[in-house]
Amino acid sequence: MYQRTKLQAKTALIGLSLLLPFCVNRIEAHDGPHQDSPQLKWPEHLYKPTPIPDRICTSLPQDPTTGFSVTWRTDVSATEGLAEIALAEGGPDFTSKAKQINGRTQAFKSNLGKALYHQVDFTDLKPATRYLYRVGSGTHWSEWIQFQTASSKPEPFVFVYFGDAQNQIKSHWSRVVRQAFADASRAAFFLHAGDLVNSGASDAEWGEWYYSNGFIPRSIPVVAAPGNHEMVNVKVKTDEKDETDDDKTKTVRQVTPHWFATFAFPENGPKGLKETCYYIDYQGARIVVLNSNQETNLQAEWLEEVLSQPGPKWKIVSCHHPIYSSAAGRDNKPLRELWQPIFDRHQVDLVLQGHDHTYSRTNPIKFRPGSLTELNVPTGQQTQDEGGTIYAVSVSGPKMYDLQPQTFMANWATKTQLYQVLKVDGDVLTYRAMTATGDLHDEFTIKKRDGQPNELVYSKIREK
């Protein structure tokens, strides 16, 4: 029996190795050792793929009313990736009505070994409808998972925003994402403003990220902006000769291949930045994600175009590097000069950021030339420009920087892990910054007014 099983397995492996070059894309991440990578014993065993689907993650398309995507990982024994989907119902008989959909499979080589990543795009679904889906193939399937499509009307919804998780993800970040889920379990999506991990090419760190999230991303989609720690050295094919490589490849700094394998973000961004710069229209809000690591000029043109199009009334942007930095010596003046006038011109309501490992939030403010220390913004309650944008920087993981107090800060925190719960309800947007223990730290409410700038209804000011 053992011999037969072994022979079957060997035959399957030979078959797979012959088949794979024709049916999958090969992706390989290269990155050097990182001091902050988890010092795990046998990480290749802790986070190795199996025939059972894991790292199951949902993503939203540009129009989330009629579809969503799911990605997952298996070991190389799974020759295909399938999904099944049915309308959700209270009883168990929905399985007989489930429709099967073929996925796309790609071979993936991480620093811990080989895996397969699979993706299925569900399309032609009904708006505001609950579905049940599962992924897998053969005898190895996930559980049935409930997922609700967005409404085609601007109905109220909640989402959660996180600053950098990045370090000690399993030991210190997991409690934050779980508290956020306890607080906002019906969230439309969880938005991560970059640096989800510390070493973008470390499979063990992505393993920790998925461990911490547990089942949450299976039914609450992930929306994410890439941080600088998601940037890795990647070898790409080229005709140009590079001094350090052979004449067929060159090394470039790009968003980690893990990003593209593990998420299925909309491909509506500029060429070369797809899935790292994109937008999603969700029930009355346009969520624009920018990649502040690369090609910021190209994105300025794209942003101008996306914000000029007719669309939802709320305009919310997320990027990793802060327009208004909260930590000492980290001013991103060129980025502010490039992007903030566009935010002003199109009356972006809110910009959600990370990178500075502190918490800071402004009232609505408009562009002023100069470095942060030269801005001459009036302090406290008066720090407010009619028609300006509110900028938030937050941190969800345990790595902390010192805060540099600035006049533009309406509220701030140091050495505190946070998550933010935002509710969009018609003309009103409420924002709550919560500590890792679920206590309210900061809050504001803004209201849309026809033909007039937003009204700042309430802002919890922290006195200096």
Instruction: Fill in the DSSP letter of residue 374.
Output: G
In angstroms, give the least distance from the CB of 459 to Fe ion: 26
Question: How distant is the alpha carbon of residue 172 from its chain centre?
Answer: 19
In angstroms, give the least distance from the CB of 350 to Fe ion: 20
Q: Which two tokens stand for residue 375?
A: 């801005």
Beta-carbon contacts of residue 246 (< 8 Å; ≥ 6 apart):
none
Q: Which is nearer to Fe ion, 166 or 326 (CB)?
A: 166
In angstroms, give the least distance from the CB of 164 to Fe ion: 4
Report which residue's Cβ sits closest to Fe ion. 195
The identity of residue 407, as a single letter, is T
CB 371 within 8 A of CB 340: no
- Binding residues for Fe ion, how many (CB under 5 A)? 3
In angstroms, give the least distance from the CB of 395 to Fe ion: 8
Q: Which is nearer to Fe ion, 195 or 442 (CB)?
A: 195
Burial class (CB in 10 A: 0-12, 13-18, 19+), 101: middle
CB 395 within 8 A of CB 358: yes
End-to-end CA distance of the chain: 74
**Distance from C-alpha of 383 to C-alpha of 365, rounded to nearest angstrom:** 7
Q: Which is nearer to Fe ion, 166 or 202 (CB)?
A: 166
Q: Which is nearer to Fe ion, 197 or 317 (CB)?
A: 197
The identity of residue 55, as a single letter, is R
In angstroms, give the least distance from the CB of 195 to Fe ion: 4
Q: Which is nearer to Fe ion, 164 or 281 (CB)?
A: 164
Residue 218, classed as helix, strand or coil, is helix
Residues composing the chain: 464
CB 13 within 8 A of CB 181: no
Q: Which is nearer to Fe ion, 83 or 231 (CB)?
A: 231
**Distance from C-alpha of 8 to C-alpha of 252, rounded to nearest angstrom:** 41
Secondary structure (DSSP) of 132-187: EEEEEETTEE---EEEEPPPSS---EEEEEE-B--SSIIIIIHHHHHHHHHH-TT-
Looking at residues 140 to 169 of the shown chain, list those that interact with Fe ion (rule: CB under 5 A).
164, 166
Q: Which is nearer to Fe ion, 107 or 197 (CB)?
A: 197
Looking at residues 330 to 369 of the shown chain, list those that interact with Fe ion (rule: CB under 5 A).
none
Q: Which is nearer to Fe ion, 199 or 299 (CB)?
A: 199
- The contact mask relative to Fe ion for 195-234 (x = CB under 5 A, - = no) is x---------------------------------------
Beta-carbon contacts of residue 295 (< 8 Å; ≥ 6 apart):
270, 272, 273
Residue 432, classed as helix, strand or coil, is strand
**Distance from C-alpha of 145 to C-alpha of 136, rounded to nearest angstrom:** 13
In angstroms, give the least distance from the CB of 165 to Fe ion: 9
In angstroms, give the least distance from the CB of 368 to Fe ion: 26
Q: Which is nearer to Fe ion, 166 or 362 (CB)?
A: 166
In angstroms, give the least distance from the CB of 168 to Fe ion: 13
In angstroms, give the least distance from the CB of 393 to Fe ion: 11
**Distance from C-alpha of 354 to C-alpha of 198, rounded to nearest angstrom:** 13
**Distance from C-alpha of 336 to C-alpha of 262, rounded to nearest angstrom:** 30
In angstroms, give the least distance from the CB of 329 to Fe ion: 15
Q: Which is nearer to Fe ion, 164 or 203 (CB)?
A: 164
- The contact mask relative to Fe ion for 183-202 (x = CB under 5 A, - = no) is ------------x-------
DSSP-based helix, strand, coil % in the chain, nearest 5 = 20, 35, 45
Residues that bind Fe ion (CB under 5 A): 164, 166, 195
